[in-house]
Each structure stands twice: as structure tokens, then as C-alpha cells.
Structure 1
């Protein structure tokens, strides 16, 4: 049966190694007795963000194949340390950038906020929390980079990649950018948790987290793992977008979560053609972001125009705030307003990690 188990486990692929766990040599031991089958996986690195996901998948697969025995899968790592790393204690503010739906330009906004903060002298980190569709590496021009593992206080940690003065980490550094991530919710939340807890962020004034669109498991995992200082909601000006904003704000304002909303960011506020830079065409409506901000009693942090240069800058891996233009100035204004809102928020009690119980 040992060989059968190894063959079955070939169905499980390690995303970074791009091999199944059998051929990759991760199966360290298989023990079989009358009541139980125990599989021990030994990983090649002391920190592996996919370990919990692989363990869970292996257990589920073997339980489908073997009905009459208890299945146990264990993870082992080289030079595992038992001391807990408290790396996020040196992070002053954790700010989530969220949206009620996809397609509103949330990742573009997040990338430019990060660079604008760094240009103002702040120590900034950016975690790409959109584990299903990581786009931050592309926007920073580092999609082909690979992270390193370093040692701090005797514990092995992932070292973020630094670009434009921003420490960047994304699940995109560990997987093929051309392959879709087909993950269950538990797999995605496990990956986010490991990226948060096993990363050498160092001292940061602000850690920005680019959240997936909507509300779901990833958002709950975030607020359960770290104390989020506040959240900014990205939307577009259309009236129909208000329903999505309501969902986002309602989740973070839920009494069991209670994360302060720093404000609303209106993206694609108007269209300005390159040949007519003074003209504004409100193709998605006008004033929607301002009305939403008033309705929810939060600041309107900024209005970002829809211009071709913003899209081109993201595709080239050069955030627009590095340029001298009207749209770059819009991002810098947004950044300043976000800092003001953050300062006001920090006059209140600090956020606590959420403890959600299921009755």
C-alpha cells in the first residue's frame, strides 16, 4: 500500500516547485497499522507558505481513497524553531484597501498609495492579499522576482522584495503567473495567514493590504490574524455601486469585527483624453463617491481620473505617482487625505484582533 499512497499523492502539486509532492521528494515517511495511516511530509525550506494547504489536500485525498483507517498527515520542516515571531509588532498601522466588487481599480490605487507614502519618507509595506488574482507584482515590475528566506531572532522568515521604497510580498512570487489559482477558501486563507505571520516586515509606518474584491473568508482571516487599523473602500461613481459599498462597510462595521472605515476612494471619477488634458467627461456619472461618503459619514479621500497613462504605468510596472501629471497629483492628494484620516483614527482606541465564535 505504500506505493499506492505515493501514486495517489502525485495528484497534489506544489505550486512553487511545480512538481507533485511524490516526485518532489516531500514524502518523508509512511506508517501503516491496523487502525491508522500516517504520512509525514518533509519540506525543503524552513518556511513554506503552501504547507498547510498541501497537508489538508493530502488528508482529503487519502480519506477518499481509504475508508477503513484514520488518516493523519503531518508537516515537518528543516530547522524548525519553536519560538514565536512577533514581527508585526514593529508595524505601526495596518490598512486594508477593499472594494465591494472587482473591476474598480483597487490594486492600481493601492500600488500608487504605497509608492506615494514611500516618496513622502514613510516606511511602507504592501501585501497582495488578493490571493486568487495577484496583480501587485506586475504593477511593480517584479513579477519574475523570487523571494528569499532570512533568519531573524533565530527564526526563518520570508524577505519581501523592495521596489520604489516599498516592501512588497505577494502569493504571485510563489506561483506561475500564467496559471489560475484554483483554491478552496481554506487554502487561500491559510496562504494569507502564512504571508502575514512568516514575513520579515521590519519597522513599518504603514502596511497596506490589497484585499480581494467583495467580502468573504480572506477578509475574516485578516481581521482574525492581525489588528487592522482601518480600511479604505474603493468604488466608482455610479449609483449602482452604492450597493457594493454598503456590503463592504457593513462587514467592517459589524459589531463583531469593528474595523474603522478611513474613507471612500472614488476611482475613474472622470475621463480625460491625453490630447485634451483640461477636459473632464463624467462617463460613469458624477458625485457618486461624495454622496456615498456623506451617507456613511466617512471622508471622501480622493477622486482619481480615468486616463490612459494610469493603465499604461501599471502595465509597465511604474506607478503613476512617479510622474509629474494631473493624475499623479490626484494620487498624492489621496495619500495626504488618507494620512489625515489615519491620524484622526489613531486618536481612538486601537483595533483588536477579532475573535469570531460559531454557536
Structure 2
């Protein structure tokens, strides 16, 4: 039981090594360490650990003290590996410290990495055959060093279920909010984001931050079209509709949209509609068909298909997890989802 007398907190082991980036360590504690339930209970027990407990160098002019060792990794529900520019990019397949590699491979819960911490997971063999990301400046080296990993340098984070990776330092914020959202729903994640003064969802991926070898003229933003679309998610929006808002051809709009966000317009629209559906499932007693209509999917069947592809669960299962099947309208709130 937790100190609040409720269910046990989700145990998080934050793994640091010499050369750790203090910002990454701090953001994990700030986001996961302050997440609370609606009744005010802390939801995570966050502990910093190292391959060997004691003083750990940072890439700043101060050290940190890691009280815990790798035994915390074995007991954790989530392990988060923080980047170290001293060693990460020199790692090779099988080249990780044996004790650390064994601890990561033996972790009972999910394992995640921020920035070049993905090199650690790859060196431990946890990313073989999987999709992953890392800081865009290290992506080419990562791909050459670990050919068994499919590298996506355009995204802020990759969720492969039991293994997750994120891009540069600030993308650790996106990853942590994603973990909170996955564990406890969008309302809890939004409250953490609000308190930390960061957006609950950040537009686009790493593509917008990559320095181009040849300077490009400034592109006309497609942000007006995105702002126009958000209150109209329930409507049958088309690519031509979005392009017309910016007075662009469909081809030009699609190219510039992808350059700015890392997504196609329709991929972006589907993501926003999924977020809207999740909010409705958590906060209302609407039937599945009504949620589908208000989120812009049209039918319950379409909503279930997109939930299966995007989240791996049905809308009814999602609601049961983050709202509770007995809340509000009960079985009626699930619509016909129970028959799927």
C-alpha cells in the first residue's frame, strides 16, 4: 500500500551514469514524481539509481548522488535510462557493462530511454527488430552501429509497448507525459503539463529541428489550418479544406505541413481525433457511437478500428481502464462496444 493508504504507486527506476544530463534527470522527477490522482495521491514512486551507488558526474559543474543500485531496476515497473554523452555514442552491440545489460534485460516492467540513452538499450539488445528513435544528430551513427534497429529520426518518441525511446532532451517531456497518459489517462497528464507549463501534446517531430545543409527560404506556416481544424474535428474535413484555409494548392500544403510537423495532414487529423475520443471516453457517459461522431470518426466501427490501430485496445476497454465501467451510465456508456 502507498503512504496515502491506497493502491501501490507505480515504481520508476531512473538510471544515471557518469556524464548524465541534469535536465533529463530533473524533468523525469518533475513530471512523473508530481503526478497525482484526482484525490491528490502521488501516482509514481521515482528513485534514482546507478550501476554503482554513489557520486555520479554530470555534464555540468556539479555531481549528483545516486543512493540506489541496480537492484532498483529489477523491482521497477518502469525503467528510464538517462543519456550520458560521455559514453553513449561509443557503445556497440554487446558492448555494454555486463551487469547493467543483464539488469536491463531482466527488468520485469517496461524500459524507456531519453535522447542517446537509446544507445544503451540497443547495446543491451532490447531494440533488435524494433523501431526506435534518438537525438537527430546521433541518428545516423545509431543506424550504422545497430543495423538490427529500425531508426526513425523524425519523431519525438517511439512506443513499442514494453520498450520506448525518445529524441533529444526536451523530448523526454513528451515521453514522460505519454507514459502518464498511458498509465492514468489524459486528464492526469494534462494536469501535470499545466502545472509544469508545457503543452500536453507537442506538434510534429524532430524533422522541424534538423539543421539543413543548404539554407531554405522561410516557409509559410500551416498553423492557421491546424487551428481552424481543431474545433471542427466532428466535421468531414478533407485535405482540400485544410489547404484552402492557407490559400495553397493541396500539393504545396501537404509538403509544407509535413516539413513543419513531421506528419501528413491526415495523420495529424487522425491523431487529434483520437485525442478527442480519449477525452470524451474519460470525461463523459456518451455511447461509443456518439463519441465516434463528436470526435470525427463517424461510426463506432471506424472508432474501434482506429483505436485498435493507434492504441491497441477497444474504446470500451480504454474507458474501463481510465474511467471505470461502473461510472455514470455504466453498460449503456459502452454502447455496442461490448459486442466486439
Whether TM exceeds 0.5 here: the answer is no
TM-score (norm 2): 0.29
Q: Choose between structure 1 and 2: higher strand proportion.
A: 1
TM-score (norm 1): 0.28
Q: Choose between structure 1 and 2: higher helix proportion.
A: 2
Q: Which has the higher contact order (CA 8 A, sep 6+)?
A: 1
